[in-house]
Amino acid sequence: MQPVSGSKLLIIAVVCGVLAGGAAWMYLKSKEAQYREAYKPPVERKVTLIVPRQDMGKAEVIRKEKVAALDVPAQFVPSGAVLAQDWKKLDGRMVEAPLQKGKPITWSAVEGSSVSRFSENVELGKRGKTVKISKINSFDGLLRPGDHVDLLGTFSATDIGLQKQPNYADDVIMTVLENVVVLAAGREDASGRKYETFFDRNSADGFNMNFSTVTLQLTPQQVARVELAEKSGELVAVLRHPKDTSFAKLGQVTVANLLDPPPAETADVVLGADGQLVGRIVGDNVVDAQGRIVGKMVDGKAVSFDGKTLGTVAKNVAANDPLLRMRERADVVRDADGNVVGRIKDGKVLDADGKVIGVVKNGQAVGLKGETLGRVERNAALDAQGRVIDMSKSTAQASPQKRGSEQQIVRDATGKVIGRVVDGKVVDANGQVIGVVKDGKPVGLEGKVLGQVSTAVVDAQGKVVGQIGEVVRDANGKIIGRVIDGQVVDGNGKVIGKIKDGKALTADGKALGQVDKVMLDEQGRPKDDGVRVARDASGKVLGTVVGDRVLDEQGREVGKLVDGKVIGKDGQVLADAVDIEVQQDAVRVARDASGKAIGTVKGDTVYDASGKVVGKLVDGKVVDANGNVLASGISAAVEGQAQADTALAVAGEAQEGAAPQASRMVQFIPGGTGKDGIIPIQTIRME
């Protein structure tokens, strides 16, 4: 065999290399095409929808010039959107829900069939009345079907039967109708030409034009009222928010009223249990500070949309009331000059920038270097900028929240509630009598003991929300123990006394303190943050209840609570079927004749803001341990805890640095002669 030359081998190698390179290139190209196809974004399919060119209100008829076509990715098409190909089905239909400019129209927002007649825009039972309007300056050409307006009328006093006032013009303005719906608004220029459903490029649109006729949706009675008003005077329409359900008490306004100062602006508001503003009441809506509707007024109560009570209602609150500026409550620190130097959060003192400048130790604000930062003020009211508001000038404060009413119940051996006590009988949840109460014990119809009688707090639905227990307070009103099975047990479980004939005594028979009743928490520990209020069958407040005593606002004993009755000192029944209402987050506040807060009252003891004992409340006077009268004309009413904290803080600032001075008692012998020749020594108080 003839050997192959080297040049031939080189050629063969080059050819093979080229072929291999070409094959590799083709392979890579095919892979590239494969990957390109795999990662190629899918072709976005778009759907053409119909959208409004401008906002459209309820009852407005959809026409071609009012809409446009918009391409929208298929995955973003809303359910029920009207396709461009269905325009003929949509043309002429009336809007049932307001439409926003540029947002796709849905079939649910329009009537089921097109409107061929204008009368089909009118609700059944209503009437369409076209009214000639003299002025609608506030609208500025923006009135649309579906808007809500008030109609005011300008009349001559003599034309409507009023007496003309001398030296004044005869004009009278009064409300004709409020909150009526606009069905149509006809525009015309000064020459009377209307511009409504057509477009004229040569017209002076927007120049010297106004709404001169408005078609309103009215009841037949309202139609008659408007007809008379049109014949007697001129009408003015005033635009209002469509969700505003309030009514203005305008009355009759004359020129003479312009000389009077404008009436003070007031508002009804809703206050939460913490004393903070929930919102203003506008019609039947509760509107918060941001203008959002957060609830409704139902039977005089503020209720959220989930049916929960929002708070209590305070009426006729002045527009400049500090409460309307309050946004939150917080503990703050004030320096010697009264300036706020920081807020307290989680035991730390933060400045305006949120920087930690100290801590709170043993109730005192201390700086990072151990220096005193100032005085701690609890539950201070702050505005939107975090500034402290003086709430002492507020006329609106949160009322104490009713927790429930006291009622005797029967629990079995496991602690389960099996019935309640009604007129000495044990009644189950179905109203069936299952036993009676004998010698303080519930006995079944078969003569067996059913369990144990206790006093519970029951809400309006009959649900047990708390339990009432007996406690013992010392001479300063402090709770020193709870009464369990006739024994007085302190917080550590140690027996420190016993109950005998309704009195708390030590083991050696000495007086231990005064027996009182308070609400207990889930662990059976006393909660000293509420007040028990006695009401008669008509709901009238008889007084606050301390132990079994019913006390009036001056601290005088009205009577004793015995088996649901208030018995006077003479043994007479003062009130039957008494309801004991437990108010949470409440306290009795002692105020002097000028309304200044002296302190809080627990039992018959008065405490200042720091918890220090001021004295005893006796017959409308605060008396110290030596019998000196510190203040007279005192009344102690039940107030919300937030209101009490504010009042005491203000009183503390006024008295800061000044020691309270007790009245000086002196004895003297008056002139003249006394009975049997004896002149008694009299004791008087020196002011």
Contact 309, 300 (CB under 8 A): no
Q: How many Cβ atoms sit within 10 Å of the Cβ of residue 497?
A: 24
**Residue ranges of the chain with pLDDT lower than 70?**
1-6, 40-43, 112-118, 120, 134-144, 161, 165, 167-168, 185-212, 273-275, 392-393, 395-404, 459-462, 465, 521-524, 527-529, 584-585, 640-687
Nearest 10 degrees: Cα torsion 367, 378, 352, 654: -90
- What are the residues whose beta carbons fall under 8 Å from the beta carbon of 208, sequence distance 6 or more? 189, 190
pLDDT in tens, 302-319: 888 888 888 888 888 887
Q: Which residues of 555-569 are buried (b: 16+ CB within 10 A; e: fewer)?
A: beebbbbeebebbee
**Paired tokens of 285:** 């809506």
Q: Where are the domains of the chain?
A: 46-118, 122-259, 266-324, 327-393, 405-462, 464-528, 530-584, 586-655
Strands (E), 548-618: 549-551, 557-562, 565-567, 573-575, 579-584, 586-591, 597-602, 605-607, 613-618
Residue 212 and residue 621: Cα distance in Å, rounded?
Answer: 71
CA 366 to chain centre: 36
Sign of CA dihedral 246, 249, 252, 254: negative
E strand intervals along 190-246: 194-195, 209-218, 233-240
Between CA 402 and CA 531 the distance in angstroms is: 10
CA gap 105, 84 in Å, rounded: 10
**Three-class DSSP category at 66:** helix
SS (H, E, C) 93-104: EEECCCECCCCC
Q: Write the pLDDT tens digit of every residue in 600-659.
A: 888 788 888 777 888 888 888 888 888 888 888 888 887 766 666 666 665 665 555 444
CATH classification code of 46-118: 3.90.1210.10
On whether the CB atoms of residues 252 and 233 are closer than 8 A, the answer is no
Query: Does the global pTM surpass 0.75?
Result: no
Three-state DSSP class for 191?
Answer: coil
For 553-572, how does the pLDDT look when each residue is reduced to its tens digit (9 = 90+)? 888 888 888 877 888 888 88
Token readout for 412 is 């079995």
